[in-house]
Structure 1
Amino acid sequence: MRFVLISLLFNVYWFSAAIGPPSLQWLMGAMLLAAIAYDRTVIAGILTLAPLGIIGDSVMLYTQWLAVDTSSLIMPSWLILLWLGFCAFAWLMRELVLARPIWLITCIGSVGGASSYLAGERLGALSFPQSFWITGVVLLGVWAIYSVLFVVLMRWLQHKVEARMAATRGQQ
């Protein structure tokens, strides 16, 4: 039930970014704060995982694999918020993710991640300066890399969080 509810909420979050006007960014911010209130370790998950996606998408924008309408030098705020929310979602789902083989998470992550960009392109949130099909293949590869790195980082961070919680319990 928890997985379904968090997944539905993330879809609301994603649609707020992909089709919502900038005025919906307050909703994304509120949902992000709700995730942090639900589980304070979400902050660590976001700080660990989000830079990977933000830097990766910045490179994709700079190298013109992706294009967005923005006056920002790096990337639009809605895309940064989307990465923050995705990383909060991934962190909240970490038990489910880390219990699966990395090859399965990589397959699901590459198809799901690439599909979200393809859907975003169809909804007008971004565009592909290169061929749609070639960009799709590139996105599959990028998301395969993201998925592996996210699992590795999530395992590392989970151990740190567990060690900190055990130390805190030991001090009480």
Structure 2
Amino acid sequence: MGHSTLTKIINFIWFQTIWFLAILFEDAYLLIILALLALHILFSKHKLEDTLLGLGIGIYGSLVDGVLLQSGLFAFSNQFAWFIPYWLVTLWIAFGMMLRTSLDYLQGRYVLSAILGAISGPLSYIAGERLNAVTFPQSSLLTVTVLSVIWAMTVPLWLWINAKITLAFAPKEQDSQG
């Protein structure tokens, strides 16, 4: 990938801004969060790849968290029947876009990314729970264990998918005989 350090720092700050807006204000700042997602695409050198990864992981995360919601592991104050809140969908999309930039150093390092996912994924949900964005109706141990397993698989999976997307859109070498 080869993103510059400044780009990675800006991307990390961008993600943290979206995270705090979503967690603290939920859907109240949804338009601002959507604008920040659009800005990322606007300034991206890889618009299509970022969009595909963001939307793909947005769908994936919505399904995963939807199952956790339906299983009683999560509860949200502003959920719509069976679907997770919109602000959480935007967090998944932003995570996918951050994965391509700030976390690109994990590309190909699947064991390390699984370990970091198993730790950082649940910590993000715990922080969200402490800030009243989500409730854990089940025991904290059960919730954190399930989240750790999911995130230990999610981060390497989406790094692998990112590699496939990047390869699919890489410029093809010219035929040297033509």
Q: 2:29 aligns with which of 21, 24, 32?
A: 24
In structure 1, give the amino acid aligned to 2:61: G
Residue 134 of structure 2 corresponds to residue 108 of structure 1: no
Q: CA deviation at 1:71?
A: 4.5
| Worse-matched range after superposition: 36-45 or 89-98 | 89-98
Q: What is the alpha-carbon distance in structure 2 between the residues aligned to residue 97 and residue 35 of structure 1?
A: 20
Deviations for 1:114-152, whole angstroms, at most 9, x for unmatched residues? Answer: 100000000000010100122111111111111121122
Distance 1:157 1:138 in 2: 28
TM-score, structure 2 length as denominator? 0.85
Whole-Å separation in 2 of the counterparts to 1:94 and 1:123: 25
Root-mean-square deviation (Å):
1.8
In structure 2, C-alpha distance between the alignment counterparts of 1:94 and 1:144, rounded to whole Å: 15
Percent pairwise identity = 24
Find the aligned partners of 1:23 and 1:15 in 2 and give their Cα distance: 12
Letter in 2 for 1:55: L
AA partner of residue 29 (structure 1)? L
Task: Report the secondary structure of 2:72's partner residue.
Answer: coil
Which residue in the other structure is 1:15 paired with?
Answer: 20
Structure 1 residues 119, 94: CA separation in 2 closer, same or farther (over 3 Å shift)?
A: closer
User: Given that residues 113 and 143 in structure 1 are in contact (C-alpha distance below 8 angstroms), is that contact kept between their aligned partners in structure 2?
Assistant: yes
Unaligned runs of 5+ in 1: none
1:133 partner letter: L
**Alpha-carbon distance in 2 for matches of 1:121, 1:71:** 15
8 A Cα contact 2:118 2:148, kept in partner? yes
User: Which among 120, 124, 132 is matched to residue 124 of structure 1?
Assistant: 132
- Tell me which residue corresponds to 2:3: none
Matched, 1:137 2:115: no
Which structure has more helix as a fraction of its residues?
1
CA contact 2:15–2:94 (8 Å) conserved in 1: yes
Q: Work out the CA distance in 2 between the residues paired with 1:143 and 1:25.
A: 25
Partner of 2:84: 75
What is the total number of aligned residue pairs between the two structures? Answer: 166
Query: Residue in 1 aligned with 2:55?
Result: 47
Do the aligned residues in 2 keep the contact of 1:94 with 1:154 (CA within 8 Å)?
Answer: no
**Cα distance between partner residues in 2 of 1:138 and 1:15:** 24
Which residue matches 1:161?
A: 169
Residues 1:5 and 1:60: Cα distance change in structure 2 (over 3 Å): same
Return the TM-score normalized by structure 1.
Answer: 0.88
User: How far apart, CA to CA, are the structure 1 residues paired with 2:128 and 2:104?
Assistant: 28
Deviation at 1:12, TM superposition (A): 0.8
